[in-house]
């Protein structure tokens, strides 16, 4: 990347550039970063949109689903005209319109044991917007193996959980320290079974993007060894720290 931002970039990102914690140095870091979004649902859509608007250099989108009418109320990249279309294709097209500077790679697939390492090795940070804990544990395990940064989110009803992990730090807890794999079923914090308010998904997905940007620029505090629990029905936000037994 060039040492200085051009006139168009300065104008596009001007409101970020004037932030003391970001400036040109932080913006150039954002623009050189590569982020993978797993799942283009209620979490992945706002996360992807906010990252592209911020200027992420390369973003990967993985999802094998098509848009359904029930997606529209919470999945912000889709509208009624997109029903029955492939999610990654629709999302890529709309994100490119928002910021043509961002390189977008699409994977029309589920993330599985036989493809996960090949895909995530090319990205420095993974945003987990998947809707089941089987996939979440798989992502967690391979991010640990490949020493990636990971931002995980889960939602249900009016509630959300958010985690950040930087697996280059050997002292970082993993998702399995907060949830015991054998004790977690896929209907826990899953909106398909329990429902979800659309704003809950937007807030959690946007917070995941916010935490990702902070981690990439190495600014502020993160949720290392903590879980952020959001109860939007009662407007209660709390952090719970993992304590080693």
Q: What is the pLDDT of residues 15-53, one digit of tens each?
A: 999 999 999 999 999 999 999 999 999 999 999 999 999
25-241, superfamily in CATH? NAD(P)-binding Rossmann-like Domain (3.40.50.720)
Task: Round to whole Å and give the CA distance between 114 and 119.
Answer: 10
Separation CA 5–CA 27 (nearest Å): 9
Looking at the predicted structure, is the pLDDT value of residue 192 above 70? no
Q: How far apart are CA 213 and CA 114, in angstroms?
A: 29
Residue 102 makes CB contacts below 8 A (sequence gap 6+) with 52, 55, 56, 57, 58, 59, 95, 96
- Residue 1: pLDDT band (50, 70, 90) is very low
- For 49-87, the pLDDT digits (tens) are 999 999 999 999 999 999 999 999 999 999 999 999 999
Residue showing tokens 């054998």 = 182
Taking only Cα atoms into account, the Rg of the chain, rounded to an integer number of angstroms, comes to 17
The arithmetic mean of pLDDT across residues 110-120, rounded, is: 96
The kind and range of the H/E element at 17 are helix 14-17
Global confidence as pTM: 0.93
> How many angstroms separate the most distant Cα atoms in the chain?
54
**Cα torsion angle, 218, 221, 224, 230, sign:** negative
């Amino acid at each position: 990347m060039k040492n200085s931002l051009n006139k168009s970039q300065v104008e596009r990102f001007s409101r970020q550039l004037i932030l003391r914690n970001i400036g040109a140095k932080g913006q150039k870091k954002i623009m050189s970063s590569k982020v993978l979004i797993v799942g283009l649902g209620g979490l992945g859509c706002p996360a992807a949109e906010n990252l592209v608007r911020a200027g992420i250099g390369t973003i990967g989108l993985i999802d094998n689903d098509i848009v359904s009418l029930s997606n529209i109320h919470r999945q912000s990249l889709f509208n009624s005209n997109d029903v029955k279309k492939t999610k990654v294709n629709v999302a890529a097209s709309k994100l490119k319109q928002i910021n043509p500077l961002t390189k977008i790679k699409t994977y029309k697939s589920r993330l599985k044991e036989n493809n996960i390492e090949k895909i995530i090795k090319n990205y420095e940070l993974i945003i987990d917007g998947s809707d089941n804990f089987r996939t979440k544990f798989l992502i967690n395990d391979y991010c640990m193996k490949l020493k990636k940064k990971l931002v995980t989110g889960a939602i249900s009803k009016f509630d959300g959980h958010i985690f950040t992990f930087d697996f280059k730090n050997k002292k970082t807890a993993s998702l399995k320290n907060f949830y015991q794999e054998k004790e977690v079923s896929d209907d826990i914090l899953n909106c398909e079974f329990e429902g979800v308010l659309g704003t809950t998904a937007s807030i959690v997905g946007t917070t995941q993007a916010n935490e990702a940007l902070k981690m990439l620029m190495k600014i502020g505090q993160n949720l290392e060894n903590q879980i952020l629990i959001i109860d939007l029905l009662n407007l209660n936000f709390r952090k719970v720290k993992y304590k080693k037994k």
